[in-house]
Structure 1
C-alpha cells in the first residue's frame, strides 16, 4: 500500500497550547520507535528545543474520556479496545458534509453506500453493511429496517464522531461485529451565548446555509440549536438532492447533582435518485459517465425524528445514575428502477428492479445505568450495571411482486416514467420487543495494571404479520449473550499496552424484518482477539496507536455439502489484520495525520450452488471487502492567518463475487483546501475535491457491472462567521 488518504485541517476555539518539538527526525523516532527510544532521545543534549505556539488539538485524544468504547467514562488509554475520535471542527474544516465522508477518514473504515440502504452503510475489519457495522446517534441506535438506516447524515451539528473498531455487541447489542460509529451532537454548554453561521457555494450549483447557537440562558438553563440546509444539482443528469437537518436541546441544571436535557433532532432528505451507470463493454464510457438511468419521476425521500430526555444524578463522588427515554421515528419512500445491464449484442441497456417501497418505523425505549466507584480489597474499582428496553414497530409497503423492466438506448437516453400494474399496499408489519441487561467493571490492581470486563444479555421477540396472507404470519425469539474481557498495562500516564477477547452477534439480515426463510436460524456469532499499544507524545506533540486482531464469525448460511438444495447455518468467515494511526506535529507550522489498515478477510466455510453443483468458496475473499485502506492529512500554517491542507484517501481492490473471478481495482482520491482568517469573526475557505478528477466506484452492484461513481473534481467556497 503506497498511497494514503487525506482530509483538511482541524481546529477548536480553545486557547493556544505549547508544544516542544526536538526536530523532525526525533519526532518520527518518537512516533514509530519503541518506548526506550523516547527515553534515549530525552537525554540527548545535542538537540535544540523549538518552542511551538499553535492551536494543537490532537485527533487522537487518547487521554480524553469517550462514551462509545466504555460506559464507565474511560479514556482510550484506559480502554482495551481500538477507539478513535474525529472532532467536529476538524470534520467541517475538511469539508466532509456527510457522516459517511467523515467516518471513512477513520482508520480502516470504508464506505459501501447505496441509495437503497440510506446511503450510509460502511465496512470495518472485513465486515460490511448495517448488520455488522453499527451506526448510533448520541449513543442510541435505530434498528435497521430491511437493511436501511437513514439518520444521522449531516455533520453541521456534530460535536464529534467516536469510532469503536472491532466487536462492539457487548456495548450495543447485535449487529456490530465489525465496529460501531457513534455520532455525538453538540450539547448545551454553560458559557456565554455564541452564534455561528455558514454559507457555502460550489460546483454543480451546490449551496449550503447553516446556523448554530448555544450557551447559558441563566444560572439553570442552557440550550443548543443547529440548522443546516443543503442543495445540489449533482454531477449527473437529474442529480438534484436536498436535505434539511435541525437539532435543538435545552438543559436544566436543577442542582450541581441533578441535570435534565431534552433534545430533538430531525432530518429530511431527498437524496440523489442515482444508482450508478452500467459498464459499456466492461468499461466506463465517457459518453455515459454523467448519465442517470433512473426514471424521470423516480423518488427517494427520508424523514427521521429523534427525541430524547436525558437525566443524570450524581448524589456523591461515588455514584452516578443516568437515564435516557427516547422515541425514534423514520418514514422512507423509494420509487425507482435500480439495475442497469448493458447488452453488447443489441447495444442497449436493460433497466430492471422497478419497485416502490415504503418504510414506517417507530422505536420507543429507555436505557438506565448506574456507576459505583469504590475500593475492593484495597484496589480501586468502578462497576456499572444497567438495562435497555424498547419496542420497534415496522411497516413495509410495496408494489411487490412487480419487477418491471425496460430497454433503453444508453447513448440517446429517454428516462421514461414509472407505471406499475401492482397496487402499492402495506405488505407486512412487525413488532419487536427487546430488553437487555448489561454490566461493566474496571478493577485497578495498581497504577499500572487494570482489568476491564463487560457482559450483556439480550432478548428480542419478533412478531410478523403478513397483511396479504395470514398463513405467512410468524414469530421468533432470539436470546444471546456477549462479553468482553481485557487487560491494560500502563507503564506511565502517557502510554498503555492492552489485550482483549470479545464475543459478538450479528443478524442474518435485519432483525426487525426477519422473514419466514430466516425463522429456522439463529443469529450469527463471532469472537475477537485483539492486542494493541497507544502512546500520547510529550508536550502535546501528537499521539499514535497500533492494533492487531483476529475475528471469526460463525453460523453463516451455507449450502449443505450432502444435499445442495438445503441451506444450513454452518458457514464461517474470518478476518485478521493490523491498524496504525498517527497524529504528529512535524514542525511548528506543519502537522501530519495518517492512518493505515491492512487485513486478510476470508470465507473459511462457505458453499454455493453453481449450475446445480456444490462449489466451495473456502479461502476466497468476501464480496465488497477492501483489504487495504489508508488516509493522510497535512495541515500547513504558512502565514499567521493562512492555512493550507492536503489529503489523500486510498481504498484497496474489492472482489465482485464469492468466486473471486473478478475484482474492482483500488482508487486514490486527493483533496486540498486553503483558508484565511480574515478577521476574528470571519473565516473564508476554498476547497477542492478529487483534484485529479479520478473516476472511481464508491460502491457497485449487478455483478460488478454497475458502478455508483464518486464525485468528479469539484470546488466549494465557504464563509464561516462567529458572532
Structure 2
C-alpha cells in the first residue's frame, strides 16, 4: 500500500521528472494506490503536447469534462461533467497551488471558477477525482475536484512568443534559479496576451499575468511562498438568437448589442509547508486573495426597450484561508492504516456584491447591492486500511459549517433582505478496493459511496421571501474497474449515480433565486490511456449520462435537465521522441442535449479537432504550429433556450416577455497560431 501520496507530493514527483522522460498516461501506476476508478493524475508532459484554445481547457484532460465559452475570453468558461451543466463551476471544485478557485456567493454565479489566470506551461501536475468520495473535498465538489500544482523549478529559462489569426499575440518569459546546492529556488514568470477574435466587434482582450515562487526542499519535505497577479479586460460578443443569424439581421460572428465585456483581477499570496518524521507527516498552507470583477452582459437584447438590457455585475472581495492535515501510519491488529485528520478554513469578505442596470457600461439604476461576510469551516478524518493483500478500505467523515452575514446597501426592492445564516453538513464517505488478485495481477475493482454538498448564494439564504437552504446535500455511489490488460494500456470503467437534494440556483442576471427541485443522474464512463511506445501516448474517453429532475414543476413541463450533455467522447495522441519532432492531435465529440425540460428542443451534436505540430531546430530553439478547429467546423460552442429580443423583433417583442428561441454562441473558425520558444 502506497501511503503519504497527497496531491502536492504527486505534483513534485511528476514535476521533478519533467526533462527528457517518457510521456506518462493519466492512470499509470494507480493500481494499488487509487481509491476509485475515476481518479487520476496529469503530468506536465501530457499538457506540453496538447493544443489549447483557452487555459481552462487543461481540465479537459479529466475524462468526460467539456470546457466551452459563451462570451468573451476574460470570463470564466462553461463546464460540463457527469450530466451537470456546471455553468461557471457550481459543482466542480478546483484549486491552484492549494488555493480555491471557485467563488462563493459570486456576482455572476455561485461557484464561479475563472481559470484564465492559469499559465499551462508552469503546471507540474494535476490530480483529479470524481464524485463525493474523498474526505478532503468540501464545497462545490459534487461532481469532483482538480488540484493543480505549479512546478517549483523549470528545466531551463525560456521565452515563448506566439502569434496567430485575429491579432492573437502572446509572450511568456519564465525561468528559475537555485542558490547553492541545497538553497532556495526562485521561479519567475510573466505572461502578456492580446486577442481580437473572429468577432465583428473586436474582443480587444488584454491580459497580464505574473508568478513569483520561492521554494526550498520538495513538496513532501519543504516549503514554498507563491505570489501571483492577473489582470484582464475585454469586449464580449454574447450568445445571440439563432433566428437573428438565419434571417441575416446579424452575422454569424456579430453581436446583438455592442458594449458587453468586462475587467477582472486576481492577486494572491500563498504559503505551504510539509514535513515528515518517521511514521507521521504534516501539511499546512495559508493564502490570501484579492479578487475583483466588473462584468457587463446583455443576454436578452432589447426586451426592455431600445436602450438594450445591459447590466453590470460587480464583485470586490478579499478571500483568506488555511489548511492543516496530519497523517499517521499505524498498524492496529497488524493492518496497515493511514489515519488523517484535517481542517480547512475559508473566509470571504465581500465589500461590493452588486447588480446594476447599465447603458454602454454606465450605471443607470441599482437593482441590488450587498456587503457579505461568509465563513466556511471544514473538519475531516479519513482512515485508509489494508485488510488483505487484495482488500483495502477508505473510510471518511467530514463536517462543514457555514456562517454568513448579508447587509443590503442598495436597491429599492432589496433593503428588506439580508441578515445572518448558519448551517452544518455531515458527509460520511466509504470506499472499497478489491485486488489485485495474485502476484503480477493488474486489475482492481472499486465500490464507493459518499455524501457531499455545494453551498448556495447566501443572498438567497437570507432573502425575506422564499429563503433557500445554505447547503445542498449530494449523495453519490459508484462501482468501477481499473486494469492493465496489455503492457502500456490502462483502462478504467465506472457506473455511477448522484442525487442532488435541490438545484436551487441564484440567478446573478436577475438577482433572485430560481428553484429547480431535486435531481438524479446516472452514467457510465470508460477511460483509456495507451503507452504505444516510449514517445507515443494515446488516450480515449467515452461518457454517457442521464439527468432528470425527480418531479415536474407543473404537469407536462417535463423532467429533463437542460444543457446536461448525455454523450461525449474524446480521442488524443501525444508524440515526443525528444528529437526533432513533437506534437499532438485531439478530437472531441459532444452529443445532442435537451435545451428545455420537455426535451422537444435540442442542440445539435458537434465534433471538432485541434492539432499541434512542432520542430526543434536545436536543443535551445523550437517552433510549433497550432491549428484550432482543424476542419473548420461551423458549430456552436454552446446553445441555450430562452427569451430575447433583437432590433428586428420590433418594440412589442411578444408583449415585453421576449421571444423564446435558440440562443447560440459560435465556435471560433479554423485558427492558426505559430510559436517560437528559446531556452537558455
Rounded Cα–Cα distance in structure 1 between residues aligned with 2:613 and 2:135: 42
Deviates more, 1:517-526 or 1:675-684: 517-526
Distance change (3 Å), C-alpha of 1:351 and 1:182: farther
> Which of the numbers 316, 333, 348 marks the counterpart of 2:294?
333
Distance change (3 Å), C-alpha of 1:308 and 1:232: same
Equivalent pairs, count: 624
Rounded Cα–Cα distance in structure 2 between residues aligned with 1:375 and 1:234: 59
Rounded Cα–Cα distance in structure 2 between residues aligned with 1:701 and 1:100: 21
Deviates more, 1:427-436 or 1:577-586: 577-586
Rounded Cα–Cα distance in structure 2 between residues aligned with 1:572 and 1:283: 37
Kept after mapping to 2: 8 A contact 1:527/1:551:
yes
Deviates more, 1:690-699 or 1:77-86: 77-86
- Per-residue deviation, residues 218-248 of structure 1 (Å, max 9, x unmatched): 2231222222211112110222212222111
- Per-residue deviation, residues 430-452 of structure 1 (Å, max 9, x unmatched): 10122111111111013221111
Equivalence for 1:396: 352
Distance change (3 Å), C-alpha of 1:353 and 1:395: farther
Equivalence for 1:474: 419
Kept after mapping to 1: 8 A contact 2:166/2:196:
yes
Kept after mapping to 2: 8 A contact 1:12/1:89:
no
Matched, 1:247 2:211: yes
Kept after mapping to 2: 8 A contact 1:125/1:166:
no
Equivalence for 1:499: 447
Equivalence for 2:281: 320
Alignment gaps of 5+ in structure 2: 1-13, 506-512, 643-660
Equivalence for 1:575: 521
> Which of the numbers 603, 623, 627 marks the counterpart of 1:684?
623
Rounded Cα–Cα distance in structure 2 between residues aligned with 1:519 and 1:718: 52
Instruction: Show the 5 A alignment for 1:397-412.
Output: 397-398=353-354, 400=356, 402=357
Task: Provide the secondary structure at the position in 2 that maps to 1:171.
Answer: coil
Rounded Cα–Cα distance in structure 2 between residues aligned with 1:275 and 1:242: 18
Kept after mapping to 1: 8 A contact 2:76/2:116:
no
Task: Provide the secondary structure at the position in 1 that maps to 2:76.
Answer: coil
Equivalence for 1:212: 174
Kept after mapping to 1: 8 A contact 2:166/2:198:
yes
Equivalence for 1:80: 36
Q: CA deviation at 1:295?
A: 2.5
Kept after mapping to 2: 8 A contact 1:574/1:602:
yes
Distance change (3 Å), C-alpha of 1:403 and 1:367: same
Matched, 1:62 2:1: no
Rounded Cα–Cα distance in structure 2 between residues aligned with 1:302 and 1:211: 22
Matched, 1:694 2:651: no
Equivalence for 1:356: 312
- Per-residue deviation, residues 595-634 of structure 1 (Å, max 9, x unmatched): 1111111122241xxxxxx33545x321111111111113
Rounded Cα–Cα distance in structure 2 between residues aligned with 1:635 and 1:327: 37
Equivalence for 2:113: 149
Rounded Cα–Cα distance in structure 1 between residues aligned with 2:455 and 2:303: 34
Matched, 1:533 2:490: no
Matched, 1:450 2:413: no
> Which of the numbers 63, 66, 79 marks the counterpart of 1:110?
66
Rounded Cα–Cα distance in structure 1 between residues aligned with 2:580 and 2:679: 16
Equivalence for 1:52: none
Equivalence for 1:486: 431
> Which of the numbers 48, 52, 55 marks the counterpart of 1:96?
52
Distance change (3 Å), C-alpha of 1:134 and 1:258: closer
- Per-residue deviation, residues 546-584 of structure 1 (Å, max 9, x unmatched): 1111111124459xxxxxxxx998932111111111122
Larger Rg: 1
Kept after mapping to 1: 8 A contact 2:65/2:81:
yes
Distance change (3 Å), C-alpha of 1:497 and 1:139: farther
Rounded Cα–Cα distance in structure 1 between residues aligned with 2:516 and 2:531: 50
Matched, 1:670 2:609: yes
Rounded Cα–Cα distance in structure 1 between residues aligned with 2:323 and 2:15: 33
Kept after mapping to 2: 8 A contact 1:487/1:498:
yes
Equivalence for 2:658: none
- Per-residue deviation, residues 488-530 of structure 1 (Å, max 9, x unmatched): 122257432111111111234x357745056343532121111
Equivalence for 2:336: 380
> Which of the numbers 551, 557, 562 marks the counterpart of 2:498?
551
Alignment gaps of 5+ in structure 1: 1-9, 17-54, 65-74, 344-348, 405-416, 559-566, 608-613
Rounded Cα–Cα distance in structure 2 between residues aligned with 1:169 and 1:699: 31
Rounded Cα–Cα distance in structure 2 between residues aligned with 1:419 and 1:589: 55
Rounded Cα–Cα distance in structure 1 between residues aligned with 2:299 and 2:219: 55
Equivalence for 2:226: 263
Distance change (3 Å), C-alpha of 1:483 and 1:139: farther
Matched, 1:615 2:520: no
Instruction: Show the 5 A alignment for 1:565-604.
Output: 571-586=517-532, 590-604=536-550
Rounded Cα–Cα distance in structure 2 between residues aligned with 1:256 and 1:304: 24
Equivalence for 1:20: none
Kept after mapping to 2: 8 A contact 1:462/1:512:
no
Kept after mapping to 1: 8 A contact 2:557/2:597:
yes
Distance change (3 Å), C-alpha of 1:121 and 1:481: farther
Kept after mapping to 2: 8 A contact 1:495/1:534:
yes
Task: Provide the secondary structure at the position in 2 that maps to 1:90.
Answer: helix
Task: Provide the secondary structure at the position in 1 that maps to 2:63.
Answer: coil
- Per-residue deviation, residues 242-262 of structure 1 (Å, max 9, x unmatched): 222211111245x99963311
Task: Provide the secondary structure at the position in 1 that maps to 2:46.
Answer: helix
Rounded Cα–Cα distance in structure 2 between residues aligned with 1:198 and 1:493: 45
Rounded Cα–Cα distance in structure 2 between residues aligned with 1:158 and 1:518: 44
Rounded Cα–Cα distance in structure 1 between residues aligned with 2:362 and 2:631: 41
Kept after mapping to 1: 8 A contact 2:317/2:351:
yes
Q: CA deviation at 1:470?
A: 5.0
- TM-score by structure 2 length? 0.84
- TM-score by structure 1 length? 0.79
Task: Provide the secondary structure at the position in 2 that maps to 1:209.
Answer: strand
Rounded Cα–Cα distance in structure 2 between residues aligned with 1:294 and 1:84: 43
> Which of the numbers 181, 185, 193 marks the counterpart of 1:222?
185
Q: CA deviation at 1:287?
A: 5.5
